[in-house]
Structure 1
């Protein structure tokens, strides 16, 4: 008689920061027949509420997930504003409510630029001389592949803007501010690859991609908490307030991780399996500080991660003594000569809990303002009120009744020129350890996460991309310099 198939229980251990590892945990909990035991180590720092507030139109997987969970966590599509100093520079409409025109004409035409001339707008349109233009790079040549990232990693975004004809007014008043908002650093500090990815994905791919919704409460309470409850119901184990301090590697030549050390706790990754068939263990490190762990500090790939950079974040939530009318629920702001940027939100318009409040509740986030993180709460509150009052004059008269200040040093990464070579892109030299973003691809079962298509490329974009691929193929046959 043929021996019956044997059940192999594979253990997957995820180290989660800001809810990021919930994505592969969610997928693998659905793979019942593959026999995964999924455990998530949750450091519990609450970073999910910093840097993850709004959701763009292309985030179709996020919208699909909340539908699966039966949640209704979002506002309607909202208008937003961008300030430079105390001046309102741009008001962004809800683009999907307007007639659709070929990209990027809708983004330029419908946005209400207060200090941008027609000539400045035209400088961003395709000047296809010799096949080179900003639009050519953003929409046609850049395809978000490994080769594209390597190609554009070494050049600053500012260099590209200058090289391909953007006017000084367009750069200083609009593009520089957009990058400070989207990439947490000014163009002279960001690599071109990151800039192209941001511009293509959110601005120039389709007219409505810039539209946003906001969480009607903190992201943790509206999405992550019910999501983790759903995962626990399907057998996922959560170990709360567990910070990884080291790994134990096997003594043999395999180099597998056998235990994860969390302070005084040791979490075993080895499980007895019928006939001692091979174990599968996946660790998903989510912080560059994992490189400091003793067991990994001699491995070059992990040490390289220490070359990456991050910015400080300061979060301020204020309850004022009166109701102040704030024109836009979400606002992005920057200062012309400074590298920091900040945002402020009218929580009375966004959060369900504050809609009936008789006082104004606002929130301000400061990014890349290193000198602020070491100051007192009182100084930070004063800075927040001073900045917001420049944009909304009535805030000058308001008195702060309650304040909540939180600091997150080095909590949001940004991609500087040359940073791509320091990043880990999936597998590592430890056979059963994978970097979080590539975990599901490497499980080895060919059961990939389903990516929800956003929208097909517009016909003129697809035609130009096809032509560009043909030209690049022909050029590759000729021994031009490639450095």
Structure 2
């Protein structure tokens, strides 16, 4: 070949390469002919456990081309449990409560130690005994159940929990509740049946003594579901109690965060997600939703920055609502577009209940026998807990460093009567309660500083009949809308932070077209005697229902 012909051939090949190389690359990146595929946009509303979990699960999927943005009205991620609050003097950082991680939080433990690789003993306390107080003083002690002889669940808790004043005859009156726990299997049918009645009414009908209810069950419901038993669904109470107390003998063993949860857990988690491309928009409130014309789909979201008032509009291929009951209610009431749709209209039935978190800094050390304590009998219909923060965090932890005496957290649930008080009135009341429980050392100590955090309607309220209004993982009305959080229906069986985290993964799985339980650690199977009780309950209802357990009467039908 002559030099001229060779040169011409080279130019032809070079020209062809300019066309074919981008074409072949586009095939490898999109799997089809045409230009590079445009990333899909997922907007997550809410930066609590559910929202962060959904963003985390989507951003970890390297094979899916998604851009994830998390919007939250607060200045820092974390939702209700975030930190970033200040004491009344402005000198100390505080957070909304002290945060625990129970034995059944398998998915959150996997996040902390397998995914984020956080140092175990630096972020969580060791297991410890817990106390229960009333105005009379110490009432009960919960041991470290994993340190006791292993017994069938229920029996172990009954034998090893030390009630100091509650008579054995009153404790024995609770045994008929075994019938309800045997029948309530967390199924849709069980939820619908037991959600019709309150937990207090169920206990009364089953013959639980008033004293046993008032001193054992009511404090558990007030601190676990944040409302008195007369105002809580029996389904929610049975589900919560089984998860936290009865699933296994060790279910109630708990470890506490050794510092402000924002610094210890949320900051490294958010940093990892930012490294995976997740964008965070704090101090941003969602004020509107714009549909695709003629379709039941959200096309964009209108936001406002709460700091400077600037507005922005974000396109969205999918939207995850990861907010609580009160926020869902508010979105519907302020959005004519959302109010058109049945599964959003029912959110107007949902509501929240209030939390008051206080942290008192003393000039002297106040001895406490137990670092974590539940309380009852101080304010009617109000739940209460208190924590010795120095014992949990350590004397040199940033949250307590430089404080000469004790730092005690006292939190109240269903606290509407308290959050209306001014700071001085709240501090005085909290101090008087500690004086009753802890005696002269508390009376002799002075409050140097205090943090008061009011969260009106801040936590979900599982009132009787609320289940019908709760969202499912995927909207039935809007094709690109999903939900995450502990108000969302889920068959996983978990509660509180663990449930919020799990539903975030479930929402991500639905968005990505995966199996619903992919990447989720299931709860351990029921213990044999529990399973046997449930089989017997089903068989009995099947017998009465002519071979169909669904048509047979439940315990609720017999009692009412």
Per the TM superposition, whether the score is higher than 0.5 is yes
2:256 corresponds to which of 214, 221, 228: 214
Which residue of the partner structure matches residue 86 of structure 1? 136
Matching of residue 197 in structure 1 with residue 239 in structure 2:
yes
Q: Measure how far apart 1:47 and its partner are.
A: 2.2
Q: Measure how far apart 1:266 and its partner are.
A: 2.9
CA, structure 1 residues 53+285, in 2 after alignment: closer, same or farther (shift >3 Å)? closer
Q: Measure how far apart 1:355 and its partner are.
A: 7.3
Task: Please identify the structure whose Cα radius of gyration is greater.
Answer: 2
1:311 is paired with a residue whose SS is strand
Output one character per residue of 1:209-243: Cα deviation in whole Å (capped at 9) or x when no partner: 01111000111111111100011111111112111
For the 8 Å contact 1:43–1:242, the answer to whether it is kept is yes
Alignment of 1:446-461 (within 5 A): 446-447=514-515, 448-461=517-530
Q: Measure how far apart 1:383 and its partner are.
A: 0.9
1:220 is paired with a residue whose SS is helix
CA, structure 1 residues 440+475, in 2 after alignment: closer, same or farther (shift >3 Å)? farther
Matching of residue 48 in structure 1 with residue 116 in structure 2:
no
Which residue of the partner structure matches residue 256 of structure 1? 297
Matching of residue 77 in structure 1 with residue 127 in structure 2:
yes
Q: Measure how far apart 1:98 and its partner are.
A: 0.7
CA distance in 2, matches of 1:463, 1:402: 54
CA distance in 2, matches of 1:79, 1:480: 43
TM-score with structure 2 setting the length: 0.78
Alignment of 1:396-435 (within 5 A): 396-428=443-475, 429-435=477-483
1:392 corresponds to which of 410, 413, 438: 438
For the 8 Å contact 1:12–1:38, the answer to whether it is kept is yes
CA distance in 2, matches of 1:421, 1:230: 37
2:186 corresponds to which of 96, 120, 144: 144
Which residue of the partner structure matches residue 470 of structure 1? 539
CA, structure 1 residues 476+427, in 2 after alignment: closer, same or farther (shift >3 Å)? farther
Output one character per residue of 1:268-309: Cα deviation in whole Å (capped at 9) or x when no partner: 325xxxxxxxxx423324122211232323334323222222
2:41 is paired with a residue whose SS is strand
CA, structure 1 residues 18+24, in 2 after alignment: closer, same or farther (shift >3 Å)? closer
Question: How many positions carry a matched residue from both structures?
Answer: 465
CA distance in 2, matches of 1:141, 1:51: 34
Which runs of structure 1 show a deviation greater than 6 angstroms over 4 or more consecutive aligned residues?
Answer: none
Which residue of the partner structure matches residue 282 of structure 1? 319
CA distance in 2, matches of 1:399, 1:336: 21
Q: Measure how far apart 1:456 and its partner are.
A: 3.1
1:107 is paired with a residue whose SS is helix
Which residue of the partner structure matches residue 277 of structure 1? none
TM-score with structure 1 setting the length: 0.90
Which residue of the partner structure matches residue 121 of structure 1? 171
CA distance in 1, matches of 2:404, 2:514: 54
CA distance in 2, matches of 1:357, 1:481: 60
Q: Measure how far apart 1:94 and its partner are.
A: 0.5
For the 8 Å contact 1:182–1:198, the answer to whether it is kept is yes
For structure 1, which runs of at least 5 residues remain unmatched after alignment? 126-132, 271-279
CA, structure 1 residues 431+319, in 2 after alignment: closer, same or farther (shift >3 Å)? same
1:22 corresponds to which of 52, 59, 63: 52
Which residue of the partner structure matches residue 171 of structure 1? 213
For structure 2, which runs of at least 5 residues remain unmatched after alignment? 1-22, 83-95, 305-309, 485-502
Alignment of 1:23-38 (within 5 A): 23-38=53-68
Which residue of the partner structure matches residue 276 of structure 1? none
**Which shows bigger deviation, 198-207 or 163-172?**
163-172
**Which shows bigger deviation, 60-69 or 166-175?**
166-175
